[in-house]
Amino acid sequence: MAPRVDFYVLEGADDRARLVYACRLVEKAFQQQNTVCVTLDTPAAAEAFDNLLWTYADHSFVPHALAVDAAASAGPAPLTPVHVGCGVPVAADLLVNLGQEVPAFYDRYARVADFVDAQPARRDAGRRRFAQYRDRGHTPQTHKVIA
């Protein structure tokens, strides 16, 4: 079955606001007992998001781990409900894409969450990803976010 693709469109251009909103979405998925794979462009970005998940809200706790190699994608679903990585697919219900490209493995997931804000380069990359999903037969849903 093809994944459901959701784009979350933030009005501002603050990268931290985009990442914090992604943390909130990851937390909500975890609270609903979903597993999550978060993918970013670089190992440094993955590590920074991993740290942000620990600190973005005082009241929040989202158990997670860094997915650092391809071995993370092999075998049964991981015990940790949330994995953060850089181009490493991990068995999960939801893929959170915080990268500039459509991950090659996006179609392994039931849902894909993608994020766009008003920063010109990220907005343009988001438009390209939206078109790529549409060209692959998906009907991405957009959600305007007022943060």
Would you write out the chain's pLDDT as a tens digit for each of its 147 residues? 789 999 999 999 999 999 999 999 999 999 999 999 999 999 999 999 999 999 998 888 899 999 865 554 544 455 789 999 988 899 999 999 999 999 999 999 999 999 999 999 999 999 999 999 999 999 999 999 986
**What CATH number is attached to the domain comprising 114?**
3.40.50.10110
Residue type, 90: V
Cα–Cα distance for residue pair 127/33, rounded to 1 Å:
31
Show Cβ contacts of residue 130 under 8 Å, excluding neighbours closer than 6 positions.
7, 114, 116, 140
Task: Quote the pTM value.
Answer: 0.91
Residue 60 CA to residue 141 CA, distance in Å, equals 27
Domain region containing 66: 4-145
Task: Give the model's pLDDT for residue 102.
Answer: 97
Please give the tally of structural domains in the chain.
1
- Nearest alpha carbon to residue 63 among 82, 44, 77, 78: 82
